[in-house]
Structure 1
Amino acid sequence: MWRNKPGNGQVSVFSFLDMRLITCGSQQIVSEMFVKDYTLLYIVGGTGQLMIDGQKVDLLRGKAILLLPAMLIKWNQSAKQPLHYYCLTFQALRQVAQDDQIISYEKVTDGAIFPQHTQLSPSYSSELASLLPHMHTSYMSASEERSYKHQTIFHQVLGTLLERKEEECRCDGLDPIALATTYMEQHYDQEISRDTLAGIAGMSPWYFSHKYKEVTGHSPSIMLRDIRIRMAKKQLLRQDSSISEVAHRVGYRDEAYFRSIFKEQVGLSPTMFVKRKRDKIAALSYHYAAHLLTLNIVPYATYVEQKREGHRRQFHPSIACHLRRARHLDTIDMEYNLRALVQAKPEVILCDELFDGQEKGMLEKIAPVVEIPWLGMDWREHFREISSFVGRKKEADQWLSSYERKAQLIRKQLKTRLGSERVALLHVMNGKLLVYGMRNGGSVLYQDLELTPVHNSNVIEVCKEIEIDELSCYDSDRLLVVVDEDKLSKQAWNELQMREQWIGLQAVQRGQVTSVQEIPWLEYSPFTHTMVLDEAARLFG
């Protein structure tokens, strides 16, 4: 490890991972993936191309490239001149906690450590050309007793990379090339000249064009075109606007030229792009996938967990790309899903706001992202928004009308049967006890069927964890209980039934405790809410 002087949120440790000298076979390589860790490449021989976040970089002997975590890369090497290159991988770590004996670190992957552009200038490449062969030799011959030599050279390599950052970021501490790119990303809807960008970068127009292409691999005009096309794809997906309006919003005053350049870059005309947006939808929300199923649209890619979702089993064979589902996706699951999406190449990604900034950025590199707030809307608003997006608003309105009639009929039946009896929905998950409010099953119980909650359900956003001693606050006439299938939850449920706080509940005393399944009761979608209506009628009718 190499320690850096830590500041506020800065990197405190660089950790060496691996060093390889890679010789590719004679076959042509074309593969696409996200970069996991900081990766330094130095080309020793051969030729090829590397697409980095959609930008092409030619791979030639003597070229050095630094890849940052979350970059989307695509290799394309020449079959006649296979690539031969050094590959150094390392991590940047930030200290997040410390006690008397343990220091905790987290990975830094936000790209703030090094300049965002990836190609190193010839002066730095020549310095790495002398360091990396020695580092590789030392690493391959190192024993446990002599593992320090390659680490020493690793420190020199880091020093070279950090020196490059300091040299290239002297415009009030900001990278002038990044400043110009940021300006294009923020003002793509306006006329932008080379002179304007050169002035922002503090360079002459000629030198700016030369420098910009040197560090990014593309001219400023190509970068601006790519930004505008990316934004046009987003607007064509989300807004009920004409193609002419979208063209003007992204900086093209000539609609015919916009149509031509869009088709050239995307492979489809704007009209066909809009029509095909529902052909390959990746639904990265378990609930939103159910909205699509309700509209008779099978997602091209979505989360699938066959053991827990018998209600969707009939659709599983039609889902082309199965993504991993878990209550809390860990790093391995997320990396698997991203790899699967890269290979599947969906037309559009439908998701909620619960992805962090870096994850959303990675998704946007795969396909245009349509984000619909999960917490900011109820399920009916979700349904209308999604139906409008896929062009099935009329079908959604008809479905909702039918649902409302069914809910009204059952509501009248239960009002006669239950009167003012109070109902609570509890959930034992991972050994913890949760109570639900106005979402998931609570939405059907308390809103659609107008049953009486035992608590102020409006103050619970989704669900609330409670302690056993708080059970008396949720004492109701009838209890519905969901118990997860994991060992910890089953054990907690068995122990709960022996506690005096549980035994003393009114619903327990009256024998009005009913076990219900996670699905359909805890899925927040029209697909399962009609199933909840049927179960409520059966249980309480």
Structure 2
Amino acid sequence: MLHSKPDQHDIRQKFSTSDHHIESHRNRQILRDKPNKPEKRFKQDKLTHRQTINASAWTIRLWDTELWSGQQVVTDQRLTLHTTLIVVLTGEADIERGELVTRMSRGSACFCAGDSTFGITPCTTQGAVSVAVIYFSLFQADNLYGHALLESAMEGILPQGIVSMTGSEDRIASLCRSIYENSRHHEGLKTWRAQIDFQEMLYSILTTWNRGVGNNKTQALEQSKKHMEEYYGEDLSVDQLAGIAELSPKYYAELFKKTYGSSAMDYLTQIRMNKAKQLMLGSDRLLREVAHRVGYRDEFYFSRKFKKVFGMSPSAYLKTQKNKLAVYGSSSILGFLIPLQITPYAAPLHPKWSREYHHALAPVVPVHLSAFRQNHHKHENLRKLAASKPELIICASETEAWERERLQEIAPVYQMKEETLGWKNQLMDLAEFLDRTTEAKSWLAGFERKVQTAVQNFPRFLNERTGLPGILPLRLHSNVLHINEGRGVEEVLFTILGLAPVSLMKNTPSGVSLKITQLADCDADHILLLVRQDTETLEYWRELQASPEWLRIRALRAGNIHVLPSYPWREYSPIAISRMLEEIPSFFSGNNP
């Protein structure tokens, strides 16, 4: 049954910053199950960490190999269509696989499933970083027809944890480089050799995993971090965490801070504070209950810690963030809520498709909807949204009719206005609905000051060039180049900053693809290129950069081709526009790689 349309004033009142109260926590008894001792539980977890690998019917196919080092190491998450092996050859790096982040050191390896995402962030304090990324497929014989081969997913076959090849680091690095060089050789025997080398390396990694050896100090620290993330509500000490890592307390404390830049106890405090935010957001839990659930027996001590970390007391936080507002359909809606100082109770978050929002909001948003390929898992998100019981849902303007009908069965729905109205009008309409016009006007005033500063300072980035430089925004998807007609890109470049679009942009009809030869003859001083982060597009991008036609492009010879990250350059929201404005000067100052 559909909800009747709610009274607009009632909804505005529910989501305004006034009229909230904090329920008294007196005379309420907190019932908690008696927990098992954390050390014992951790050891039980480790017993099920490995599984028997049956490789008797495997056939392996190597597709591609990449070697990344220095600035080539990509921090943005990318989509991989094939099973992927990541090996750290030198230094240390944080490997993101979906929402899982793991520190890996030299000689460590891990696998990523096909049709998933991964990212690599170098830890520059630990020396130069180089990483091998190997794409492959694993086939197994069909049980029904033994002569047929079926591609298998890695789940239940390949290890999901980190494998450390302690004592074999040099050999693994040598194999990776051999695989890389031979896979690109023009001789068929050499490419076959790459297949053999890869299978040899894969065998070494899996036998190491099966024997249960190869743990190193980085893995030991990661195990203690995982323990904190799972058992933050229990009494934890440095001695206990050091015992889990099988290190002395003093050495553990020193190594943890050296590796992660903060002490183990500070890291635990941050986990507890973020979990506390999640518990308080959209709930009527008492302060004492929240404190107990995140590991504090004294709610007054918890309040002091909360204020020290976030700059406001729990009661002040509750006054502005108590209601259960949900976002559905597009993570770009978060770029409208942040200026209004609203943290949603449920939102689509993903470390690739909404990286900035995931980094900022994932620790404090209680319900994470899938943002894989934005809203690929619609039915799953609708089920999760219904279970979370929000009080209001904000959905994207392009939400389909059947989705809106389902959303209206869950809670009242506000649908974002069309982009054609402009992001400022979208923001003000949403702000009026939520009774947050004061916050919206304040943010817009700050944005206008930023625009004035950018326009005034921009000429000094042009290196005394006479006239404005010609700009060509492009996007590469698969093996096709198009002019980037993104609304935000055009607004920032050509409306706010008044830069000049080149003749190729003016003369090319919308949606028509470009040839590389057209770029070679183009009069663009700067090319801003958005490369889709999937394996097919990235493979073509590597080939394109080595082609003679690409090397003849005028902007390339001048060092003025700028590869853009997906965020903020694919989004149209207040926060994204503001970020674009901040990044533009680096393209003309010589500080952009």
TM-score (norm 1): 0.46
> Rg: which structure is higher?
1
Identify which of structures 1 and 2 has the higher relative contact order when contacts are C-alpha pairs closer than 8 Å and 6+ apart. Answer: 2
TM-score (norm 2): 0.42
